[in-house]
Amino acid sequence: MMNQLDDTDQSAFLIDEWKAAREQVHLLLNAIWRLESAAILGLGGFYAWFYSRGDGWLKPFKLITLGLSKPAVLFEVACLTSVPAVFAVFVLNRLKIEYAILARLGEYSKLIEGSIYRSVPLKIELAGWETYLAKHKPDDLSFLAVRDLFSNTFNGFMIITAICIVVAIINWIRLVESLIGTLVY
């Protein structure tokens, strides 16, 4: 416990904790940037393939469905365009978790810096990152709180996710319209 350490030991502990926290921040930022890059490239690659298939966006499915009716083809299209939307939602949720951990690391580092550099007494008993994390869980941060802290990149991926969802919804609407048209005629 912090209260049991003398000032020299406490300072050494705090400096070691600060260094470890900063290293974790750098590692986490690299992991977040890799996840964002891979997700954006993957989604871009999928949509580039999907919408650049020759003389129409249904062309790749004519081979798959072997001449099935238009509603069957549209069902496959709707299902296939739902995959990136679901993937983007999962990535967005993972990014929320990673950014929440980053926010907690920042809070922890700020507490340590205040004590080390400005001789501000610690308002809490600091016994290490794991102890701090047990009392300040990243999951306790709301989606909106994380978005407010990291608005640039997080909002960018939220927009990408929304676009994927809209594309999937449009294709499901096309399917429903086609089914209604088939039933009417």
Give me the pLDDT at residue 48, please: 86
Terminal-to-terminal C-alpha distance of the chain = 78
Give me the pLDDT at residue 114, please: 80
Q: How confident is the model at residue 99 (pLDDT cuts 50, 70, 90)?
A: very high
d(CA 128, CA 144): 28
Q: How many helices (H) and strands (E) does the chain have?
A: 6, 0
Give me the pLDDT at residue 122, please: 62
Asked if pLDDT for residue 17 goes beyond 50, the answer is yes
Give me the pLDDT at residue 177, please: 80
Give me the pLDDT at residue 88, please: 94
Give me the pLDDT at residue 33, please: 93
Which range of 99-103, 106-110, 152-156 scores highest in mean pLDDT? It is 99-103
Q: How confident is the model at residue 141 (pLDDT cuts 50, 70, 90)?
A: very high
Residue 150 is given by DSSP the state T
d(CA 85, CA 92): 10
Q: Which domain holds residue 35?
A: 2-184
Which range of 68-82, 85-99, 163-177 scores highest in mean pLDDT? It is 85-99
Percentage above 70 pLDDT, the chain = 76
| Among 94, 82, 85, 107, residue whose Cα is nearest residue 154 | 94
| Among 99, 126, 81, residue whose Cα is nearest residue 33 | 99
The rounded mean pLDDT for the chain is: 80
Q: How many domains does the chain have?
A: 1
SS3 percent helix, strand, coil of the chain, rounded to 5, is 85, 0, 15
Q: How confident is the model at residue 154 (pLDDT cuts 50, 70, 90)?
A: confident
Asked if pLDDT for residue 96 goes beyond 90, the answer is yes
Mean pLDDT of 164-169: 90
**65-69, 85-89, 122-126: which has the minimum mean pLDDT?**
65-69
